[in-house]
Amino acid sequence: MMSVDKVVSAAEAGFKSSLDRLFELLRIPSISTDPAYAGPCDDAAAWLVKELKALGFEASVRPTPGRPMVVAHYTPQGATPKTPHALFYGHYDVQPVDPIELWHTKPFEPTLKKGADGVERIYGRGTADDKGQLMTFVEAARAWIATTGSLPVKATFLIEGEEESGSPSLIPFLKANKAELSCDVAFVCDTGMWDEKTPAITTRLRGLVHEEVEVEGPSIDLHSGMYGGPATNPIRALSKLVASLHDKNGKVTIPGFYDGVAPLSKATKKQWASLKFSEKKFLGSVGLKSAAGEKGFSVLEQIWARPTAEVNGMWGGYTGAGTKTVIASKAHAKFTFRLVGKQSPQKVLKAFQAFAKKQMMPDAKLRFSGKGSGAPASEIADGSVYIQKSAAALKAEWGRETMLIGGGGSIPIVRHFKDILGMDSVLVGFGLDDDAIHSPNEKYNLTSFQRGIKSWVRIFGALAR
């Protein structure tokens, strides 16, 4: 196989053209949430198919009940059943641009600007989420094909058009096309680096369960002077439930909640400690001073490797100006539970419901929404051959050890790839925390795009070895 360095050099030599193509895609206002932009979403899908066909992919626009998918396949000459086959996932749709008055440039007129710090950044909607990211592996494929005449591995590209609107067509599409889309491994580009000089692979994502409850006491709102004392107050009953969710050390008190939660390995704890993460800065940036989670765990452990129980909203009774002396008939709350390891969403939901019933006062009638649902956590072992090869390739490009990090939130596609297509995902991206995704003045560092392309060139090569 030709030296990867030669392909990297070709990517560098062709970078101006790569940037021009990215700008073409960024100019298409492919906002999936707004029906008025259905046409531009179609245009973005068609643009990607045209580019991929020009590279030698078998590419097509696949209609869905919503915005179309782009599916493309590449099989190198001489491929055998042992040739690695990887799926690469990204999305071409973007968030709305409102509030437009806060943008310093036109959202769909990408602009390259150098800051006072000397860093060049690309501004525009979709630069980091996710057009700039997905174009890193498209342009890496281009460099391989232009230099060697072929990709070194079998590749399938799946580029979605509804990620920013909840992916309503995704699960049916994956199920309907399972045989076509199942590969050895999936690569997801919708993530970031540890910092602007340190590459990262996200190896774990927390799962999520949500539930909404209603507590009813008296059949009508009551005068608190006439009934205060003997009447069950549903807000008080609900407050008791919320207060009982955690003990004095921040541990969740629901019986069986921690089933399936494994301790971190010593190696992982050591690497996370080496990140020199500033807990003070992290909390201080949002006006907080001290961590309120489980005692005995660092902030990184709390957001990457520990489950949580949170109340996200709580209401009932009179909330207008002034005073109204009533005992409310009903009170409501919304709860979410972030999951890790092998926690079962269904078991956690049932355990919470049983726990909530036990906290109720006499005459407090508890109802659940019936819409409680969720997804388990996702995790790929640090020792995975795909993690190891990707980490080595990233180190070769950036000159620093690749950090294996966690994510506090959820990326549903990762779970769907595992549950429906039976394959693990490797999350490699080049976004930064200050990219302002979903916000005005979204940006993507020029180095993220340029070195992201070269990183994927090296990952392609690593997979082939």
Residue 430 sits in a domain of what CATH number?
Answer: 3.40.630.10
Q: How confident is the model at residue 3 (pLDDT cuts 50, 70, 90)?
A: confident
Comparing C-alpha atoms, which of 155, 140, 141 is closest to residue 88? 155
Which secondary-structure segment (H or E) carries 368?
strand 365-368
Interacting residues of 364 by C-beta distance below 8 A, sequence separation 6+: 215, 216, 217, 232, 234, 237
Co-location of 237 and 109 in the same domain: no
Q: What percent of the chain has pLDDT over 90?
A: 93
The SS3 assignment for 417 reads helix
Q: Residue 310: pLDDT above 80? A: yes
Co-location of 122 and 185 in the same domain: yes
Q: Is residue 295 part of a domain?
A: no
pLDDT of amino acid 151: 97
Q: Is residue 293 part of a domain?
A: no
Average pLDDT of every residue of the chain: 96
Q: Is residue 71 part of a domain?
A: yes
Helix axes 15-26, 4-13, angle to 10 degrees: 60
Amino acid letter at 148?
T
In angstroms, the first-to-last Cα distance of the chain is 9
Pairwise CA distance, residues 197 & 271, whole Å: 17
Of the residues 334, 355, 375, which one is the last residue of a structural domain? 375
pTM as predicted: 0.88
pLDDT of amino acid 383: 86
Q: Residue 175: pLDDT above 80? A: yes
Q: Residue 372: pLDDT above 80? A: no
Q: Residue 324: pLDDT above 80? A: yes
Q: How confident is the model at residue 382 (pLDDT cuts 50, 70, 90)?
A: confident
Q: Is residue 267 part of a domain?
A: no
Co-location of 101 and 198 in the same domain: yes
Of the residues 318, 340, 375, which one is the last residue of a structural domain? 375
Q: Residue 19: pLDDT above 80? A: yes
Co-location of 73 and 181 in the same domain: yes
pLDDT of amino acid 409: 84
Compute the average pLDDT of residues 124-148.
98
Number of domains in the chain: 2
pLDDT tens digits, one per residue of 23-62: 999 999 999 999 999 999 999 999 999 999 999 999 999 9
Better-scored residue on pLDDT, 409 or 185 = 185
Co-location of 357 and 369 in the same domain: yes
Residue 211 sits in a domain of what CATH number?
Answer: 3.30.70.360
Co-location of 105 and 116 in the same domain: yes
For 224-251, b/e burial (b = at least 16 CB within 10 A) is: beebeeeebbbbbbbbebbeebbeeebb
Q: Is residue 333 part of a domain?
A: yes
Co-location of 61 and 9 in the same domain: yes
Q: Residue 1: pLDDT above 70? A: no
Pairwise CA distance, residues 131 & 427, whole Å: 16
Of the residues 375, 408, 429, which one is the last residue of a structural domain? 375
Q: How confident is the model at residue 289 (pLDDT cuts 50, 70, 90)?
A: very high
Q: Mean pLDDT lowest for which of 7-21, 185-199, 402-416?
A: 402-416
Co-location of 50 and 192 in the same domain: yes
Q: How confident is the model at residue 2 (pLDDT cuts 50, 70, 90)?
A: low
Pairwise CA distance, residues 134 & 439, whole Å: 19
Pairwise CA distance, residues 150 & 145, whole Å: 4
Co-location of 426 and 337 in the same domain: no
Q: Is residue 193 part of a domain?
A: yes
Joined together, the tokens standing for residue 346 give 């269904």
Q: Is residue 456 part of a domain?
A: yes
Co-location of 64 and 155 in the same domain: yes
Comparing C-alpha atoms, which of 102, 71, 100 is closest to residue 87? 71
Co-location of 331 and 193 in the same domain: no
Domain, as residue range, for 62: 4-205+377-464
Comparing C-alpha atoms, which of 460, 342, 37, 410 is closest to residue 190? 410
Q: Is residue 436 part of a domain?
A: yes
Interacting residues of 456 by C-beta distance below 8 A, sequence separation 6+: 136, 137, 139, 140, 141, 428
Co-location of 236 and 146 in the same domain: no
